[in-house]
Structure 1
Amino acid sequence: MSGPTDGAPGRPDGAGPADATPSGPAGGRPSGLRDPVRAVRGLGAGTLVIETVVLLLAIQPIRVLGGNLSGSAIAVVVGLAVAAVVLAGMMRRPWAWHGGTALQVLLLFAGFLHWSLGVLGLVFGLVWLYVLHVRRTILG
């Protein structure tokens, strides 16, 4: 026999399966994530950390393969990597998302120093656009 607290359809508190929608339970988390804000922050921070590693690892191959990166160009790459780490740590702040977008634009412009930095800017710019799309989809 079904009682008033067994989760059956038609419960007065609205917790029954009859209230479930295709995007999730009424008033619940449509993404299914326990903490969607934290998950999106982690995605943004992880992307920026990976970008940092790639930037730092790209310096030597560019130099060896004839990139002729000057000291100032290497300083720009290291500065972009440091900015990415700082932004990754600041993802709780709303402005950090805009800062991440600005970082991608700056990396794209670093392509004037060496074409491979422009390619990295293009690749990470597209990745960042996808991260922003995921953020918009999950958080609304």
Structure 2
Amino acid sequence: MTGPEQPRRSGLRDPERSVRSLGAATLAIEAFVLLLAIQPIRVVGGDLGGPAIGAIVALAVAAVVLAGMMRRPWAWHAGTVLQGLLMLAGLLHWSLLVLGVIFALVWSYALHVRRVILG
């Protein structure tokens, strides 16, 4: 007979910091990819106008700001909203929807890892 079940340890020295770093890295990579995607989208898609470029830059800036604020508990929720906004930007150009779906899947994996490590 065993005593009360102990919480599963992750083996990390600072699990909260590790999870915050994962979220921040995910958002930073998203911002980088969004900014790098502007020119190829313009070349391939052809009709990427000012509002779409403005939306991409605004989303990239928001991702960088959120990456720096991952210590705040609401930043994870804001990151989820950011993924939805990126998919909504798909109304401006179809490739933004594709990027939104890809990064929503990556973000959902980061949320899953957060849930597994922190409980």
TM over 0.5: yes
Larger helix fraction of residues: 2
**2:109 pairs with 1:111:** no
User: How far does residue 72 in structure 1 lie from its aligned partner after superposition?
Assistant: 1.3
The residue that corresponds to 1:30 in the other structure is 9
Q: How many residues align?
A: 116
User: How far does residue 104 in structure 1 lie from its aligned partner after superposition?
Assistant: 0.2
**2:31 pairs with 1:52:** yes
**2:15 pairs with 1:39:** no
Q: Alignment identity in percent?
A: 72
Name the aligned partner's letter for residue 39 of structure 1: S
Kindly name which structure, 1 or 2, has the bigger radius of gyration based on alpha carbons.
Answer: 1
Q: TM-score, normalised by structure 1?
A: 0.79
Contact 1:67 1:114 in 2 (8 A): no
Deviating 4+ runs (over 6 angstroms): none
User: How far does residue 65 in structure 1 lie from its aligned partner after superposition?
Assistant: 1.4
- Structure 2: gaps (5+ residues): none
For 1:99 and 1:67, locate their aligned partners in 2 and report how far apart those are by CA, in whole Å. Answer: 31
| SS of residue paired to 1:33 | coil
The residue that corresponds to 1:128 in the other structure is 107
Once superposed, what is the RMSD of the aligned Cα atoms?
Answer: 1.6
The residue that corresponds to 2:65 in the other structure is 86
Q: TM-score, normalised by structure 2?
A: 0.92
Q: Which has the higher contact order (CA 8 A, sep 6+)?
A: 2
